[in-house]
Amino acid sequence: MRLTLYSDYSLRVLMYLALKEESKCTISEISDGYNISKEHLRKVVHNLSKEGYLKTNTGRTGGLLLAKHPSKIFIGEIIRKTEEDFKLVECFDPVLNTCVIEKDCKLRHILNEGLLSFLSVLDRYTIEDL
């Protein structure tokens, strides 16, 4: 499974803020630190804030802080919230599935087990672990 840049950037923002502990950071600072466009980071920060992972303040003394301790932010949870598509193959999507062997095929179940195992491993780690 390949994670999107959106998930990657979300994890990077959380890691960056975890390293800064209680110091406020700006999108510009994170953008410069990781060489990521500010526009992409704005979208990521907006979503992380909406999901309750970040506290954001605007204005002169504004910035970003983690809303939770890094030990309470699980990587699997972040991936589930930032990835839009866990349909590894066509038969995972009941609307688009046209596979003629689906009824007898065991591949879907094996791939689903692999996906659940992947997410289960991520659930064991937090931002603090990174």
Give the list of residues 6+ apart from residue 118 with CB closer than 8 angstroms, or none.
1
Q: Is 57 left (phi over 0), alpha (psi -120 to 50) or beta?
A: beta
Range 14-41 average pLDDT: 95
**Each residue of 53-78: pLDDT tens digit?**
999 988 888 899 999 999 999 999 99
How many residues does this entry show for the chain? 130
- CATH number 1.10.10.10 is the correct assignment for the domain at 5-129: yes
Cα 2 → chain centroid: 12
Q: How many Cβ atoms are within 10 Å of 129's Cβ, its own excluded?
A: 11
Question: What's this model's pTM, rounded to 2 decimal places?
Answer: 0.87
Is the confidence at residue 91, as pLDDT, over 90? no
- The whole-number pLDDT of residue 88 equals 63
For a pLDDT cut of 90, what percent of the chain falls above it?
A: 68
Is the confidence at residue 103, as pLDDT, over 90? no
**Each residue of 21-32: pLDDT tens digit?**
889 999 999 999
Domain coordinates in residue numbering, the chain: 5-129
